Amino acid sequence: MDKPFRRRDLLGIRNLSAAEITGILDTAENFSEISNREVKKVPTLRGKTVINLFFESSTRTRTSFELAAKRLSADTVNISVGESSLSKGETLLDTALNLDAMAPDCIVVRHSSAGVPHQLAKVSKAAIVNAGDGANEHPTQALLDAMTIREHKKKIDGLEVAIVGDIVHSRVARSNIHLLTKLGAKVRVAGPGTLVPTDFRYLVEENLEVCPHVTDAISGADVVMILRIQRERQDSAYFPTLREYSIHYGLTNERLSQAKKDAIVLHPGPMNRGIEIASDVADSSRSLILDQVKYGVAVRMAVLYLATGGIATSG
């Protein structure tokens, strides 16, 4: 089960260099034009098979990966947990080996446990792309966020980015912190004390600040990234009520006015209007939530292209 070119897998942002990240983003920019064409399809991955293996429900990410694969002319198969053999008692390893026996070129995997894509990568001959593993990473989300920021700010280096919300459970936050700090941005995180680990700053060497109050994080920021508050956490004593969360941490126009005048607002979705983000902020011209979704397809086309393309002979 040799893999001559390990970088075929996209397991996370943490192990990528700044140059590799920039390379993916540049490629994605060139792919973005394809979705505006009359014929939104190129023959690049004709004859390749992409399996979307989703152990956790997802509409946006799965659709985005599926569209990306189809616009590259790959054949796609979607497997979601309800219909898989895992509910019949098969182990993850056996599922992976069985899928592998059908010779897919790429497996896009989402799982509620951290490290599942890494385990698959060890046994599978296919390229593995992490579409979210537990609270660990969601690399394509961070890449599409970075692409959105780059399109609007023309750079990432030197920007101040606030990430607000449930940091501790967020793979989006982790991937974004890795990516943004590697590319030279300063990241400030804030949220309820129970949801922001104070030792988070050790995740990366520098350029990451844990703020005691949401205003400290937003103040002077170029980019405000709001994370989804997971409603099911309400009952697990992380915070008292959604209403209270909204009052103290929700992004309102008033809070946003503390950021730079031309600050942009991102949200990975699905958003809870009126809880972590006020409706008028979400619908304002500063909110780039739909741009994020648009660039998501381009980023995933680039990732699938790089994952399934030729094998580097020298690698």
Partner 1 sequence: MNRALSRLASEIVEKNRGVNDLYLVGIRRRGVPLAERIARKIETLEGSPPLAGILDITLYRDDLSTVGANPIVNRTELEQDIENKIIVLIDDVLYTGRTVRAAMDQLMDFGRPRKVQLAVLIDRGREHRELPIQADFIGKIVPTKQTEIIKVMLKEFDEVEAVGIFERP
Residue 134 interacts with partner 1 (CB under 8 A)?
A: no
CA distance linking residue 70 with residue 73, whole number of Å: 5
Kindly list the distances between the CA atom of residue 260 and the CA atoms of 96, 220, 221, 247, in Å, as whole numbers in the listed order.
47, 5, 6, 22
The residue within the footprint of partner 1, chosen from 33, 83, 205, 232 (CB under 8 A), is 33
Scan for tokens 């959105």, then name that residue: 148
Measured from the CB atom, the residue of 29 and 151 that comes closer to partner 1 is: 29
If we measure between CA atoms, which residue out of 22, 30, 11, 8 comes closest to residue 302? 30
Q: Which residues pair with 14 in a beta bridge?
A: none
Among 43, 87, 154, 198, binds partner 1 (CB under 8 A): 43
Determine which residue in the list 93, 123, 290, 312 makes contact with partner 1, applying CB under 8 A. 312
DSSP string for 168-186: TT-HHHHHHHHHHHHTT-E
- Tell me how far, at minimum, the Cβ of 252 lies from partner 1, in Å: 39
When binding is defined by CB under 8 A, the residue of 115, 197, 220, 309 that contacts partner 1 is 309
Interface residue with partner 1 among 44, 80, 230, 258 (CB under 8 A) is 44
Q: Which two tokens stand for residue 275?
A: 């809880």
Q: Which amino acid is at 65?
A: F
Query: At closest approach, how far in Å is the CB of 311 from partner 1?
Result: 7
CA 32 – CA 41 distance, rounded (Å) = 12
Q: Is 75 in the site for partner 1 (CB under 8 A)?
A: no
According to the binding rule CB under 8 A, does residue 248 interact with partner 1? no
Enumerate binding residues for partner 1 (CB under 8 A). Answer: 27, 29-31, 33-34, 37-39, 41-44, 72, 302, 305-306, 309-315
